[in-house]
Structure 1
């Protein structure tokens, strides 16, 4: 089951946009260009956002 996308802060949106733009730039260079490092960074950013959102929803 896919996890729902979290609400991103402005900083997270900017970082995600930057990473996606870099992935696009690398994709233009060719289909065999290594992009896994950027994909891992984007995955880590999304996971951090999910954890932040879950922490904010839990009662203190």
Structure 2
């Protein structure tokens, strides 16, 4: 089941855009290139955004 994507700040959107660009650049190099470090970084950004959104809903 896919998790809901939380609202992202402008900085988070920019960081994700940079990571997606780096992933695309690596994928041009070939299928055997590892992108797991960039995927983990994106997961951390999304996890922080989810935590922030959850904290905001609890405070409201």
TM-score higher than 0.5 here? yes
Aligned residue pairs, count: 60
With the length of structure 1 as denominator, give the TM-score of the two structures: 0.93
Which residue does 1:26 correspond to in 2? 26
- Note the C-alpha offset of 1:7: 0.5
| Superposition CA RMSD, Å | 1.1
- Please identify runs of 4+ aligned residues in structure 1 that moved more than 6 A: none
Residue number in structure 1 paired with 2:4: 4
Cα deviation, 1:6-48, whole Å, max 9, x if unaligned, reads 0000000000000000000000000100100000000111011
Shift of 1:59: 2.4
The residue aligned with 1:17 is 17
TM-score, normalised to structure 2, is: 0.93
Rounded Cα–Cα distance in structure 1 between residues aligned with 2:19 and 2:6: 17
Which ranges of structure 1 fall in alignment gaps of 5 or more residues? none
Unaligned runs of 5+ in 2: none
